[in-house]
Structure 1
Amino acid sequence: MIYLTRPSATLSLSRRGAGGEVLYNIDIGMRKILNLFFLLIILGTLYQYRAPLGKQFLLLRDNLGAFFAKTPCLEPMPYALGSFDPKFGISQKYFLDALAEAEAVWEKPFGKNLFIYTPADSSFDVLKINLIYDFRQQATSKLASLGIIVKNDRTSYDMLKAKFTALKAEYAAEKNAYDMQVADFNRKQQAYEAEVSFWNKKGGAPRQEYNKVEAERLALEAESKKLQAAQLRINNMVDEINALVVALNRLVASLNLSVDSYNTVNVSRGESFEEGVYTSDGTNREIDIYEFSSRAKLVRVLAHELGHALNLDHVDDAKAIMYKFNQGNNSTLTQADLAELNIKCQVK
């Protein structure tokens, strides 16, 4: 008896129908090939239109996020510590204790837990709080090291402006003198190198000429050290000027002064001065803290950004936690803060 084997990816005889006709089924191997073919077509189409589809996905995600967003205050908002820069010179415990104080600013008058620290929670909706060191804290630390305390008033602005004007003039004079000295040093060094090359080509210099060239070398070394010291002084002046610029521009904004912004020296910055920022893209929520001059200011800026995390807007009361500038000294909510909180938390 001869047994026939069927091809794995062809039509195979299955059974006869009632009228004796032959019925066929598509072989499993052929079905897999067809499924793979259609899958490749779908994937190719998605790849070709990935840009417009990606935009539509983000739009859908944002709309769904808004639709399913929880009303603030119904349950505590989980938060965790994100990036933490040690250049601030504080411990994580110090920062977390300040965060706990900032929580209490909102929770005590409201009579309910609004936030909860969940260090091990990695859920997508956990609020990440980051401590980021950049030019803002660098400027604050520089001024503090010089004994300069910046207050949010016109007197402080006038004092900083006077210091900035005097220091800028001193810097200009020092820089001009330094540039002239460097140019003179370079001429002397070129002459020295030419003289050394001349005598080396002759196989060496007589004792008298050698002593002369050696004296020139020692003089150049001494002058180079003086120039390095002058450069260090100028660099320190630049750091101080730039720190003053950061503080002055901040005061110009917070005091709403009709003056032009101050420019830094040898540095180009397009950033505005913000001590902290709350951001949300519909999926991730973060608070970035950039600058504080004291623990009280740290607690205040944390409380302000936690307010934004509760969807609170800025209020007009200059003493309020939710005022657009961190210029108040109080660590308690004002009536404007409470009114905004009650609106967002739907308290009647």
Structure 2
Amino acid sequence: MTSGIAKIIFFFTALLLAVIYLSLAGKHNPMLTPAATDPCSETLTLTVGEIDNRYAITETQLEEILAEVAALWSAAAGRQLVAVSDEGRVPVHLIYSEDQARSSLERQQNQRIESMRVELSVLEREYNQAQDRYDTRLDEYNDDARQLQSDVDVLQNWIRQLNAQGGFDEAQIKQLEDRQRQIEIRNRELDRRRILLSSEADELNRQQSYLNGRIAQKNSAIEEYNRTFSGTRRFTQGSYEWHGTQSSINVFHFNGLRELKLVLAHETGHALGIDHVENPTSIMYHLMGNQDLVNIRLSDEDRRALQEVCGFDQNLQ
């Protein structure tokens, strides 16, 4: 978007050319605005202009957003201050720029990071489930191993007692052989389970190593994203321009339809003759970043600025 500084450039034909650039911090000069003598004396009519086909937005979508912007300012004024019409005098153009290409890259990077988050969420869930299964099996194995050792100890004590009493009779020998055979079977089963647990532990280690690697990649992607795209941005996404009696709103880039609505609301404010305000959450603040994109609305400062420009006697809505 643009700042409030208006620049007058005189050509040989004495044509007046003035552009408000939101990216500048200077003051908007209402004397240079075409409707400055009585900016709210008539309805400001917007119309859909040219849309670069590289934008994934239709004329209908843009018209709907413009209608929402018109309703926003009109509600504050208590009358139809802004309207959308096929014959509107202020066309709104979506012009593809290098900034939009950068915004598209930002969106792609953001989608990539979100995709990585989703992947990591699945991997972490699968890893935790596998870890829980392993822990359960390991606890069961340890319980059975302790029980087997206890049974072996009992058997050895029994053998020592019988040896102390003179040895085994035939029935006791058969009993000993049966108990030893059961212990051997249980021991072989424990060995089999131990091998499986060892294999599971190796697989868990591989999963954890892969998971840690993917987490590191995600963190690296986030760091790169923050270095490249983080921070508040000036309203450089668009401008309100006029050439003689002709005016237009040009939008150069935006991240999604909600941000487009904020950009258009800001530029429409300039078209009404409103300068920047000081509240960071205001639509007419010179920086983008603290406004609520989910519920775009005028702040008290925006309303007061509108009242000052339009000279309303009544309280704004």
Q: How does 1:130-149 map to 2 (within 5 A)?
A: 130-146=93-109, 147=111
Indicate whether 1:71 and 2:33 are aligned: no
**Number of residues of Structure 1 aligned to a counterpart in Structure 2:** 184
Structure 1 residues 58 and 132: CA distance shift in structure 2, 3 A: closer
Q: Which runs of 5+ in 1 are unaligned?
A: 1-52, 151-157, 166-243, 255-272
Corresponding residue for 2:297? 332
**Shift in Å at residue 332 of structure 1?**
0.9
**Structure 2 residue 240 is matched with structure 1 residue 283:** no
Aligned positions of 1:198-213 closer than 5 A = none
Q: Confirm or deny that 1:162 pairs with 2:223.
A: yes
Who is 1:127 aligned against?
A: 90
Partner of 1:103: 70
1:94 partner letter? Q
Secondary structure in structure 1 of the residue aligned to 2:79: coil
Greater radius of gyration (CA): 2
Is 2:299 the partner of 1:342? no
**Which of the numbers 293, 302, 306 marks the counterpart of 2:268?**
306
Number of the residue aligned with 1:48: none
Query: What letter matches 2:241 in structure 1?
Result: T
List, as ranges, runs of 4+ consecutive aligned residues in structure 1 with deviation greater than 3 Å.
53-59, 64-70, 158-162
Question: What amino acid is the match of 2:44?
Answer: M
Q: Indicate yes or no: 2:289 matched with 1:292.
A: no
Matches for 1:12-91 after TM superposition, within 5 Å? 55=12, 57-58=14-15, 70-91=37-58
| CA distance in 2: counterparts of 1:134 and 1:278, whole angstroms | 16
Question: 1: CA distance between counterparts of 2:257 and 2:60?
Answer: 13
Give CA deviations for 1:158-209 in whole Å, capped at 9, x if unaligned: 98883169xxxxxxxxxxxxxxxxxxxxxxxxxxxxxxxxxxxxxxxxxxxx
CA shift, 1:108, in A, is: 1.2
Coordinate RMSD, CA, aligned? 3.4
C-alpha contact (below 8 Å) 2:240/2:248 kept by paired residues: yes
Alignment deviations for residues 102-145 of structure 1 (CA, whole Å, 9 cap, x no partner): 11111112211112223246xxxx21210111222222222222
For residues 308 and 284 of structure 1, what CA distance do their matches in structure 2 show? 15
Q: Identify if the C-alpha distance between structure 1 residues 345 and 69 changes in structure 2 by more than 3 Å, giving closer, same or farther.
A: closer
Give 1:320 shift.
0.3
Indicate if the aligned counterparts of 1:301 and 1:326 stay in contact, CA closer than 8 A: no
- The answer to whether the aligner puts 1:320 opposite 2:277 as a matched pair is no
Instruction: Measure the CA separation in 1 of the matches of 2:259 and 2:34.
Output: 36
Amino acid at match of 2:308: I
Secondary structure, counterpart of 2:286 in structure 1: coil
Q: Read off the aligned partner of 1:332 and give its amino acid letter.
A: R
The whole-number CA distance in structure 2 between the counterparts of 1:286 and 1:112 is 23
AA aligned to 2:106 is L
Deviations 1:16-65 (A, max 9, x none): xxxxxxxxxxxxxxxxxxxxxxxxxxxxxxxxxxxxx9647436xxxx98
1:280 aligned counterpart, secondary structure: strand
Distance in 2 between residues matched to 1:291 and 1:66, nearest whole Å: 24
Whole-Å separation in 2 of the counterparts to 1:324 and 1:134: 20
Stretches of structure 2 lacking an aligned partner (at least 5 in a row):
1-9, 17-30, 115-218
Q: Deviations over 1:263-313 (max 9, x none)?
A: xxxxxxxxxx71111112332211111222122211111100000000100
Query: 8 Å contact 1:143–1:149 — kept in the other structure?
Result: no
